[in-house]
Amino acid sequence: MINSDVIRGHLDAIILRLISESDRYGYEISKEISSRTNEEFQIKEATLYAVFQRLEKRALIESYYGSESFGGKRRYYRITSLGRAYLSEEIKNWRKTREIINIFMEGMQ
């Protein structure tokens, strides 16, 4: 398992990125994160819903209830235009941060 502290600061952007691909519900996002990282990173349910609340409060995402499923109606999340603009900036910031970190970490054995 990787150190989740490194990822924690980027959770908003990670979740926005997943939602930008398609509207998703919480469990689906959790499973997608786990799957894409080959089970190396798993987000806790409480953390995921805290991120949803934070993003919704900032109008970066909005939620709606989908059709009935086995356990009732699922709450889906979709990215807003403000969320897309924020994500775009976060991606630019990530690229710059990665460049700076690579200056110091590349070639280190």
pLDDT in tens, the chain (109 residues): 566 777 888 999 999 999 999 999 999 999 999 999 999 899 999 999 999 999 999 999 999 998 766 667 889 999 999 999 999 999 999 999 989 988 898 866 5
Q: Is the Cβ–Cβ distance between 90 and 20 less than 8 Å?
A: no
What domain range includes position 92? 4-105
How many domains are contained in the chain?
A: 1
Pairwise CA distance, residues 26 & 6, whole Å:
22
Q: What is the pLDDT of residue 69?
A: 65
Report the CATH number that the domain containing residue 35 is assigned in CATH.
Answer: 1.10.10.10
Q: What is the pLDDT of residue 8?
A: 85
Task: Tell how far CA 43 is from the center of its chain.
Answer: 10
Q: Is the dihedral of CA 45, 47, 50, 51 positive or negative?
A: negative
Q: What is the pLDDT of residue 66?
A: 85
Q: What is the pLDDT of residue 11?
A: 95
Pairwise CA distance, residues 26 & 63, whole Å:
11
At residue 72, the 3 state secondary structure works out as strand
Tell me how far apart the 2 most distant CA atoms of the chain are, in Å: 53
